[in-house]
């Protein structure tokens, strides 16, 4: 795995680089004490894994991940490092797999990298979508089984940590994938991401009211909040759907 280190403390960078050197399957491309230089590097180079400090003076780790999202073809995995024990494992939409509390023990570092390697092995099986097709093949929790899911059958998709759930009219399909990964595979004229945790089918919208999308599923109406950072893009998609007579 190709990795980089981003930490404003030189000593922390040196320790992580030393640990990386102990694992043959890791290739350290570069290390940065300036997060903005790191961003420029990521935008122009393929990176699989980023060791990222949360507590940086100019930009914290969470803002850093937001600046990476949507700017790269494949979202890298993140292992976050911090000297503060109060953080909990949120930010799952950014492929965060572990928090390492400084000073970082070698054993915990190796365990975190092993977790990424296992997830990457699962993710290496691509979501199979042919150009112009109206379906997608996904790998379910049963290893070796690929399931065909028709776009017209999807009501909405929910992301939670390192799993996503695809809700159809009658089923829930659980995948060990990242929500952003699936979002890139779904046609934009049929699906819209409306917050950090949900992608909805535009055709399954019953109504839009009070900053919520109401999705029809069976005999239920399911309200889902429209996130502030996704609001403008979502309404542009709705305007496009109106223009193309998807919504009358």
Per-residue pLDDT of 207-216, as tens digits, reads 998 899 999 8
pLDDT value of position 246: 44
Average pLDDT over residues 220-231: 90
For residue 233, the number of C-alpha atoms closer than 13 Å in the C-beta half-sphere is: 13
Contacts of 185 (CB under 8 A, 6+ apart): 127, 129, 136
Give CA–CA dist 22/109, Å, rounded: 11
pLDDT value of position 188: 83
Average pLDDT, the chain: 84
- Please report which helix (H) or strand (E) contains residue 4, including its range: strand 2-6
Instruction: Grade residue 142 by pLDDT with cuts at 50, 70 and 90.
Output: low
Closest by CA position to 164, among listed 151, 186, 180: 180
Q: How many CB atoms lie within 10 A of CB 113?
A: 24
Instruction: Using a pLDDT cut of 70, give the percent of the chain over it.
Output: 83
Q: Specify the CATH number of the domain 135-243.
A: 2.40.50.1020
pTM (predicted TM-score): 0.56
Sequence ranges of the chain with CATH classification 3.40.50.2300: 2-123
Question: Does residue 102 register a pLDDT over 50?
Answer: yes
Question: Does residue 247 register a pLDDT over 70?
Answer: no
As assigned by CATH, the class of the 2-123 domain is alpha beta
Paired with 49 in beta bridges are 3, 77
Please state whether 24 falls in left (phi above 0), alpha (psi between -120 and 50) or beta: alpha
Sequence ranges of the chain with CATH classification 2.40.50.1020: 135-243
pLDDT value of position 87: 60
Task: Give the CA distances from residue 89 to residues 35, 38, 79, 160, in Å, rounded to whole numbers and listed in that order.
Answer: 21, 23, 11, 11
- Tell me the per-residue pLDDT of 149-192, one tens digit each, with 9 for 90 and over: 899 999 999 988 668 899 998 899 888 777 887 888 888 888 99
pLDDT value of position 239: 77
């Amino acid at each position: 795995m190709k990795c980089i280190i981003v930490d404003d403390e030189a000593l922390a960078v040196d320790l992580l680089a030393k640990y990386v050197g102990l694992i043959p399957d890791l290739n350290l491309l570069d290390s940065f004490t300036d997060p903005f230089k790191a961003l420029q590097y990521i935008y122009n180079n393929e990176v699989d894994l980023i060791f990222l400090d949360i507590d940086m003076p100019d930009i914290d780790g969470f803002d850093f991940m937001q600046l990476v999202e949507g700017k790269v073809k494949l979202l890298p995995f993140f292992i976050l490092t911090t000297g503060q024990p109060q953080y909990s494992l949120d930010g799952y939409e950014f492929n965060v797999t572990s928090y390492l509390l400084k000073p970082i023990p070698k054993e915990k570092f190796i365990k975190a990298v092993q977790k990424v390697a296992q997830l990457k092995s699962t993710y290496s099986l691509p979501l199979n979508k042919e150009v112009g097709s109206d379906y997608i093949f996904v790998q379910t929790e049963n290893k070796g089984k690929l399931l065909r899911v028709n776009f017209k059958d999807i009501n909405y998709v929910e992301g939670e940590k390192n799993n996503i759930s695809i809700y159809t009219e009658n089923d829930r399909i659980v995948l060990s994938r990242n929500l952003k990964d699936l979002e890139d595979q779904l046609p934009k004229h049929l699906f819209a991401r409306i917050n950090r945790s949900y992608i909805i089918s535009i055709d399954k919208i019953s109504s839009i009211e009070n900053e919520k999308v109401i999705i029809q599923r069976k005999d239920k109406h399911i309200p889902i909040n429209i996130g502030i950072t996704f609001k403008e893009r979502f309404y542009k998609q709705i305007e496009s759907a109106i223009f193309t007579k998807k919504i009358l």
